[in-house]
Structure 1
Amino acid sequence: MSVVTLTVSDDEADIRLDRWFRRHYPHLTQGALQKLCRTGQVRVDGRRATAATRLAPGQAVRVPPIPNASRPPPLAVKPLDARQVREINQMVVYRDDHVIVLNKPAGIAVQGGPGITHHIDALLDGLRDSPDDPRPRLVHRIDRDTSGLLLVARTPGVAAKLAAAFRGRDVHKVYWAVVVGRPSPATGIIDQPLTKLGAGAGAISVVAERGDADAVHALSEYEVLDAAGRKLSWLALSPLTGRTHQLRVHCEALGNPILGDPKYGGDIAHVTGFTDKLHLHARRLEIPHPAGGTLMVEADLPPHMRETFRQIGFVAPATAQPRRS
């Protein structure tokens, strides 16, 4: 075994050093890598680095001798059947060589967990054009009961670039929601810090007191697009920060919980004559495209929200075709 120097490829742009090692040396543990970094045995362009260092194409990574650690064989992945492949491809609203955008139905989780075996992540192999293609990767998440746009990267390098765009707030998201009551004023910014209570699937977010040790900054824009008197309103919502259940908690804090949201709206969110499904939809997504320019995609409303719009008389504009400018 000897020291080797590897060059970061274009597809590995903005990837963390620990993830780069996981890709090239999957048997190397996180603890072992951190020790190699601390002792200066791993270097990037001749300089010390940490496991969290982000890489750029063309950089040279010094890799010290790494023994072949024994590890359990990878778990066998059950291939998707034709129905599953058809299911995930029916969600596609935009696809190119770099990204795929899905219109996720309400009720399906993005990732697995205790008791969750049917989820988007388990279906991503159905989006590959050939078995030799990299497995597509999720870039972000939306709630299980929220419908709408979900961004998927076709390669790990693209995933890293898009994740950086989300971290840098270079992504603009617009959600549509039907809420109980009518917010006043008709437009505004909800500036309420949040904190989490509990853990795991049962965790919830709540409004926190400013200055609380566990409070995190949370900011959302809203605009009333239409209203049925003071009974129900149609809102456009834009999260300016990305906190768990942010829009749902902020609507509750506004005094106008989202229709069909018992987790944050309780009995108030139940309105007789309307379905109790969550009325929150990721309508529009604008992202810096990995190959340049800006990609804008919109998603049709889910069936339960279309029916509510029909009952109330809300008229949604036609869904715009995806465009890259």
Structure 2
Amino acid sequence: MFAPLPEEKAKKYCIDLMQKLDAEKRIDFETPIDKSDARFSTDCITQKDSLGQMFGVCVCLNQNNEEVVLKAFSGQFNSVWNVPGWVPPLLDETTFYETTKESDRLIHQLTDQIEALTKEIKALESQYLEEKPDFAQVQNLKSLRRAKSALQKERKTMSQQSMTEIFSLYRFYCADGKLLQFKDIFKDGTQPPTGCGECCAPKLLSFAFQHKLKPISLAEFYYGTEPASKKKRHKEFYPPCDEKCAPILPFILGLEILYRDDSIVVINKPSGLLSIPGRGEDKLDSVTTRLKRIFPQCIEQPSVHRLDMDTSGLLVLALDKESHKNLSVQFMEGKVHKKYVAFLKNKPSFGKGCKLNPVIENEPLSGRIELPFRLDVENRPHQIYDEVYGKWGITNFQFLPPQEADAMLQVFRLNKTQLEHFRKNYELVAVVFEPETGRTHQLRLHSSSIHGLNAPIIGDNLYGTQTENERLMLHAFELGFTHPKTGVQMFFKT
């Protein structure tokens, strides 16, 4: 994943940390060297038969605007969770050992039994290569194999139960002050990836937010013996990982940051989050609010375009006035590339506002929608079709073949229950929209109107219906624009 915070300042502290590790060959820097604990020697990660480890630094500001530097190592260091001077794990060490003591004993017991059976089975198999077994011996061998298989299944079940108990111990402090658990992130009993929550970035950020610190820079590096795969190099810097960090950092930070520099931020907005704050206390939470919490130096109004609250997908925001002006002009002049994907409740029946392109064999159906709409003043925020006072909205569309439509489902990140509900109740009617104008609710209206596709987007609570376990199935999956400072063409796809 892309590094969510600036790295430069933290990298300087990381280099200092590397030099200290080189010089002292230990990590318990807080302890006088003559009283250093042998467990904290770097020999366990630098010797030939060992494996290195990730280290990270987070530079923060306290409430007095003073710098505070935090450091962390991934997982345990030489089987130790807590080392003085380092950020602690995201679980309580004592509770962890109390929770795992009995399950570990039982799992080891099962492993011993499986290994004993494996030896017995191999011995009999070798014996029967030399002498043909009788019926009773064959049945005995089958019985031993069944017993081994049963024990393996029991061990697997017990290991899964143990992991569920361990994952329930993790606590994440977030940028908004909330305290989350894995169950708040992984729904429907989905298990987090092994090692999730043990990387440097979540440990550092959670500790910072817990202690009312503002993270301003974060960097991580690998130190020690390199793996045979060479995927990690000694003293090389790496961003937070895709497998274990990407699922949880957006919850800790409040935003899924796909790109960031000094001028702009590109995020993947979740469904249910406002692009900008609305009126009232219950509508303060928004992309803009969360962005300013992470990047307090950004301008008051960083938003240059919006997505409906229930629409998910790509948004670009400006961190300074010059970038904001430049991007705003690009949007106004129609120079920004935008594509959305939507899943429709039923097959379309094209109204008078649709102009279909010539049908080409084996090519998906495509065309253009042009319809006028205005605000329904009696039923805000609904828009209604009005040929006299309405403003024209123009959308190009292309339907997806079933295989591509099925692949596109992943961008919506439906949980298990939502996905089962979708497959049970709907066909794969997916359409890609490329709007030329940006009218309010344009794509939702062009889908639902009898003059358009006459097929509401699934989960549209304004122009269709939304039942339990449904969300608006509209996602902005492509975004392209010119970088406001460098002039480089930027392109993003989820």
Distance 2:300 2:441 in 1: 28
Look up the match of 1:284: 478
Say if 2:268 and 2:312, in contact at 8 Å, map to a contact too: yes
Distance 2:378 2:261 in 1: 38
Look up the match of 1:247: 443
Structure 2: which amino acid aligns with 1:105?
P
Q: 2:386 aligns with which of 201, 205, 208?
A: 208
Equivalent position SS for 2:392: coil
Which string of whole-angstrom CA distances, capped at 9 and with x for unpartnered residues, describes residues 245-300 of structure 1?
Answer: 0000000121111001121014xx66xxx83210000100011211213110112x
> In the superposition, relative to structure 1, how do residues 126 and 203 fare at CA in structure 2: closer, same or farther (>3 Å)?
same
Distance 1:144 1:199 in 2: 21
Structure 2: which amino acid aligns with 1:215?
G
Equivalent position SS for 2:491: strand
Please say if 1:143 is aligned against 2:308.
yes
Structure 1, gaps ≥5 residues long: 1-78, 300-325
> In the superposition, relative to structure 1, how do residues 261 and 80 fare at CA in structure 2: closer, same or farther (>3 Å)?
closer
Look up the match of 1:159: 324
Distance 1:262 1:232 in 2: 20
Q: 2:489 aligns with which of 273, 276, 294?
A: 294
> In the superposition, relative to structure 1, how do residues 257 and 80 fare at CA in structure 2: closer, same or farther (>3 Å)?
closer
**Which one has the bigger helix percentage?**
2
Look up the match of 2:121: none
- Please identify the structure whose Cα radius of gyration is greater: 2
TM-score when normalising by structure 1? 0.58
Shift of 1:199: 7.5
> In the superposition, relative to structure 1, how do residues 232 and 181 fare at CA in structure 2: closer, same or farther (>3 Å)?
farther
TM-score when normalising by structure 2? 0.39
Which string of whole-angstrom CA distances, capped at 9 and with x for unpartnered residues, describes residues 136-160 of structure 1?
Answer: 7111110000001111111111001
**Which one has the bigger strand percentage?**
1
1:83-162 correspondence runs (5 A) = 87=251, 88=253, 90-113=255-278, 114=280, 115-128=282-295, 134=299, 137-162=302-327
Shift of 1:110: 1.3
Count of matched residue positions in the alignment of Structure 1 and Structure 2: 210
Structure 2, gaps ≥5 residues long: 1-174, 178-208, 216-248, 351-355, 357-364, 406-425
> In the superposition, relative to structure 1, how do residues 116 and 168 fare at CA in structure 2: closer, same or farther (>3 Å)?
same
Look up the match of 2:367: 188
Shift of 1:134: 4.9
Structure 1: which amino acid aligns with 2:371?
Q
Look up the match of 1:226: 401
> In the superposition, relative to structure 1, how do residues 158 and 263 fare at CA in structure 2: closer, same or farther (>3 Å)?
same
Structure 2: which amino acid aligns with 1:157?
E
Structure 1: which amino acid aligns with 2:481?
I
Distance 2:335 2:266 in 1: 17
